[in-house]
A and B are shown apart, each in its own frame.
Chain A
Amino acid sequence: MSHNSNSTGHDHSGREEDNQNSRRAFFKNFGLLGAVAAAGGAAIYSGYKYEESKPGHDFVKVLTSDNRIVEVPRDQIKDIRVDVDKLQKQGREGLKGHRFVMVIDLAKCRNARKCISACQGAHHLRPYEYHINTLVMQESEHTAPYFMPKPCQHCDNPPCVAVCPVDATFKRQDGIVLIDNERCIGCRFCIAACPYSARLFHWEEPLMAEADKGKPYNIELNVPQRKGTITKCLFSSDRLREGKLPYCVSACPNGVYYFGDENQDAVTNGTTKETFRLSELLRVNAGYQLMAELGTKPRVYYLPPKNRLFEFKDEKDPVQEPT
């Protein structure tokens, strides 16, 4: 209203004045009231402070992190609480300004499975529960077999997110698809929808259910894992928030993984720590996406297994049977 009043004509100005006057009066009264209230509040507060500072408080001895013992009034002690709401909020929003992307060089993979164990360790998974799995692939009878690490493809057109009935799995602004196991109802529609078999379900109590009990839920790590909910590759979004490379990428001994930001057109090799131009890497090596014809628009690129560094050797199936 006041915005318009600047341009109003003469006949309006009189009323405007009245308005101004009554408003002024109101503020005057209000100001008085406010002053009284503030004074009262201050008096009560100082009294409280005084009571508080009186001797005879109950003190507790506390060992600090630098090994000193100090005394602290008992009522001043506060638990250090990880703010789960904050974790949820930042976890759902993602890292602003980034578009994360992974490049997997199939010519370098010899199925060392270090990526898998690093991932399973970080996310408290059993040896046969995979956020990332290395598959033996063979396109047709007369072509050579090769190893293919397969994380979640973090599709830009994710079929899993499209079907989720409760917004438990979602796409972030930085391109990562996450799962909220405090929301998930366990319908497994997303498993049915995912053409990459990238998702898994906790059919029983998760591996470290006992040990993780009561820990605050970090949506970017998906720990504690929960029975009856989905879990999946998260592109190690907890590590990305710290500016580090994902668990699998750092753990690879053979330089298979590049990870980086599409916005910066740069990816870093997890083993050599060399940084490359993403577009250049994909162009020179004829990079491709897995089953791109399905229209899922993956954020993971593969470099074809040409001029391989290792001879293909399919060893015994490394899986461990559940006990």
Chain B
Amino acid sequence: MASEVNTGFLNDKKLDSIAADILRPVGITQGFIVWMGFLGISLLACIYAYYLQWDKGLIVTGLRDYTSWGMYIANFVFFVATSLVGMLISSVLGLIGFKWVKPIARIAEIIAVAFAAIAGLVIVSDMGRPERLPYVFLYGRIQSPIIWDVTVVTTYLVISALLYFLPLIPDLAISKGRMGHTPKWLQKTYEVLSVNWIHTPQQYKILLKAVRIMLILIIPTAFAIHTVTSWLFAVTLRPGWDSSIFGPYFLTGAFVAGSAAVVIVMYFVRTNYKLDKYLTLHHFDMMGKLLVLVSIVYLYFNINEYLVPGFKMKTAEAIHLKELFVGDYAMMFWSVQLLGLIIPIILLLFKVFRKPLSMLVISIIMLIAAWFKRFIIVVPTQDHPFLPKQHVPDAWMVYHPTIVESAITIGTIILAVIIITILVKFFPVIPIWEVAEEQHETDSKTKE
């Protein structure tokens, strides 16, 4: 982001066409109603599943004393992981000065906000006494990694929300008078949220400064949330979790999941809203390259995480690794490694696969694989405690997720999709003023 804004773009004729393009899909359409209706009804079923759990206790899940963290915790890790992409795209790549991330940055922030917000709910779904959530703040022990996690996830959510909202303010002001096709209440909302923005250079200066501070602040915060999340496992003595590279291992894995999520949202925005002028083939090409990069880094950490203990085969580690490589979890383990990492890396090396549709397919598979990867990290370790599992009912021996907990998990994903849909549908999904400014800049340069 440049340190000065040339407000000349405001009088540029191009602004009109850009604003018109980006604001056209804003508002309530039939497709939106159908989609939200579908999500809403599905969500109701999931809420009923949670009611069952609230009423009967966690007995409705497949969790028992040996495997006491299952799908919910895996889902939590997945949510935190996916939300990290906000930091990667707008902050890391933005600060380095890559211009191509500008139209994507807002999509990345939407994903960050949605997933970070729901991550908090996901963790509550795992609690035995959810009504005691305030105890975490009343009696919190600073020594516990859970308290660190709560602190940094909340901080990350706030900064991400600001990073979404602050650059949106000029767009809300630009939209004034161009929103004839949208309902009155939405126009009113825009007016309130635009906080009397009048496009003075001074305002832009302050905005850029604020955004820049946030962009820098979010880097350590994002590192912290996923590192601390990995420590929920790494601070224990259990084979499979007792690893010193869990922090970077989780962090790099997060970028894979998040980048895949961004590609998926990009695709739907591009095709549904006819924004291919702004989300161009070049953007998909670059995102494809980014996916290759983050996947290779993650693959490197995977090799470290499995090869080093696999070489030594200490007793307890060996049981765990055999379970993953050739045992009950082998199918899931190898599918995740191949479909979620190795094959996408190979395919995306070729330009022909870095096209929107093939990228969409690859990204969906990668995102699903990313979810199961968290399952692989969380569950199998607990299947093999140090001491033998004896004298308990058969159902306690192996973890089989139930329909109820699957429904609750799907419910959290639906909630995230609802937040994304609302933010994408009711507000400009591509930063109008930033795109216009850049166009203006390049135009004036070519004139000279």
Q: Which residues of A approach B to under 8 Å, CB–CB?
A: 128, 130, 133-137, 150, 159, 162-167, 183-189, 191-193, 195-197, 199-205, 227-229, 291, 294, 296, 317-319, 321-322
A200 to B135: give the CA distance in the assembly, Å.
Answer: 21
Bound form: Cα–Cα A291–B147 in Å: 29
**Are the C-beta atoms of A195 and B238 separated by less than 8 Å?**
yes
Q: Which residues of B contact A321 (CB under 8 A)?
A: 393-394
Q: Within the complex, which residue of B57, B143, B393 is in contact with A228, where a contact is CB–CB below 8 Å?
A: B57
Q: How far is the CB of B135 from chain A (nearest CB, A)?
A: 5
B141 in contact (CB, < 8 A): yes
Binds A, one of B94-102, B187-195, B379-387, B437-445: B379-387
Which of the residues A150, A163, A228, A291 comes within 8 Å of B144, measured between beta carbons? A163
Number of B residues, CB within 8 Å of A:
49
Decide yes or no whether B206 CB sits under 8 A from chain A: no
Known: A183-B135, A195-B238. 19 other contacts (CB 8 A): A134-B391, A137-B388, A150-B387, A163-B236, A165-B136, A165-B140, A165-B144, A183-B139, A185-B132, A187-B146, A191-B69, A193-B235, A196-B387, A202-B57, A203-B57, A203-B58, A203-B59, A228-B57, A294-B237
Once the chains bind, are B237 and A159 in contact (CB under 8 Å)? yes
Report the minimal beta-carbon distance from A242 to chain B, rounded to whole angstroms: 30
Interface positions, chain B 384-429, Cβ under 8 Å from A, are 385-396
- Asked if B183 lies at the interface with its beta carbon under 8 angstroms from chain A, I say no
Interface residues in chain B, defined as those with a beta carbon under 8 Å from any beta carbon in chain A: 56-59, 61, 63-66, 68-69, 126-130, 132-133, 135-136, 138-141, 143-147, 150, 232-233, 235-238, 382, 385-396
Q: Is there contact, CB below 8 Å, between B237 and A193?
A: yes
The answer to whether A165 and B59 touch across the interface, beta carbons within 8 angstroms, is no
Query: Given known contacts A164-B144, A187-B146, A201-B58, is B385 in contact with A195 (CB within 8 Å)?
Result: yes
Q: Is the CB of A228 within 8 A of B386?
A: no
Tell me if A's interface is mostly helix, strand, loop or mixed.
loop
Min C-beta distance of A45 to chain B, whole Å: 40
Assess whether B129 is in contact with A197, with CB atoms less than 8 Å apart. no
User: With A195-B237, A201-B58 as given contacts, are A188 and B147 in contact (CB-CB < 8 Å)?
Assistant: no
Among A162, A203, A227, the one with the most B-chain Cβ atoms within 10 Å of its Cβ is A203
Q: Contacting B393 at CB < 8 Å: which of A167, A185, A193, A319?
A: A319
Q: Which residues of A contact B147 (CB under 8 A)?
A: 165
Max chain B C-beta neighbours (<10 A), residue from A134, A162, A199: A162
In the complex, are the beta carbons of A192 and B382 less than 8 A apart?
yes
Q: Which of A137, A197, A205, A227 contacts B128 (CB 8 A)?
A: A227
Q: In the bound complex, do residue B386 and residue A196 qualify as a contact, i.e. CB atoms below 8 Å apart?
A: yes
Given contacts A159-B237, A185-B127, A203-B63, contact A135 B387 (CB under 8 A): yes
| Cβ A202 vs Cβ B386 within 8 A | no
A193 to B146, CA, bound (A): 13
Going nearest first, the 10 A-B pairs with the smallest beta carbon separation are: A186-B128, A228-B128, A204-B59, A165-B146, A165-B144, A203-B59, A166-B139, A319-B391, A191-B68, A185-B132
